[in-house]
Amino acid sequence: MLLVLVPFLSLHLFLPHSICHSLYQTLESRLKTTLPEDLGEALSNGTVLCQLANHVRPRAVSIIHIPSPAVPKLSTAKCRLNVENFIAACRKLGVPETEVCVCSDVFLCKLPAVLRCVAALVKYEGETKGETRTPQTVDPHLSLVSEGFLVFYCLAMALIYTLYYHLVA
């Protein structure tokens, strides 16, 4: 309900601290830069993600739209291009399709999905350099579906089955 009442707040404020912290550590350590406190806002224009892809493999993203001091906010179209270029680079670099986030994950600040994609990209970097495991800063196993949703889904299916059984009998 709070999300409906205050839609302008970034969703990372409601996520477990470990997810945000893990994503922060990964991005800051790889790019050797300091990110702003609002991680969702920092990632939403796609520049940081494109820089990460280029860190993993130079020129993986050929064009990155970067805000200038004169115009500090990119247009929606340029933000979308950056995010699409990042996703295309992830696919080109061999990140499994199940791990690749979608544009809406970045724009809606769905940080668990973005972290899963970043973790897979960093894992790819480690494999190409001969490392056998992912860095400690990345949570290696993020479920595609949350436990809460699975419980809800199972209960809903059991209820539907029960209703169907009673209606048919």
What pLDDT is attached to residue 3? 37
Q: Does residue 150 sit within a domain?
A: no
Number of domains in the chain: 1
DSSP 12: G
CA–CA distance, 15 with 83 (Å, rounded to integer): 22
* pLDDT class of 95 with cuts at 50, 70, 90: very high
Percent of the chain that is helix, strand, coil (3-state, to 5): 60, 0, 40
Least confident of 62-66, 137-141, 164-168: 137-141
For residue 130, name the pLDDT band (cuts at 50, 70, 90).
Answer: low
The answer to the question of residue 160 being in a domain is no
Question: Is pLDDT of 11 > 50?
Answer: no
pLDDT tens figures, 101-113: 999 999 988 888 9
Q: Which residues of 134-147 are buried (b: 16+ CB within 10 A; e: fewer)?
A: bbebbbeebeeeee
pLDDT band of 145, cuts 50, 70, 90: low
Q: Looking at the predicted structure, is the pLDDT value of residue 150 above 50? A: yes
Instruction: Report the Cα 84 to chain-centroid distance in Å.
Output: 13
- 100 within some domain: yes
Q: How far is CA 81 from CA 6, 14, 88, 89, 163, in A?
A: 28, 27, 10, 12, 47
85 in a structural domain? yes
Domain of residue 9 covers 2-140
List pLDDT tens digits, range 18-44.
667 778 888 898 899 998 888 888 899
**What does R_g of the chain's alpha carbons equal in angstroms?**
19
Rank 14-18, 20-24, 45-49 by mean pLDDT and report only the highest: 45-49
State the chain's mean pLDDT as an integer.
80
The domain that holds 118 is classified in CATH as 1.10.418.10
Rounded mean pLDDT, 120-125: 86
Is residue 113 domain-resident? yes
For residue 16, tell me if it sits in a domain: yes
- Whether 98 maps to a domain, the answer reads yes
Where does the pLDDT of residue 139 fall: very low under 50, low under 70, confident under 90, or very high at 90 and above? very low
The reply to whether 167 falls in a domain is no
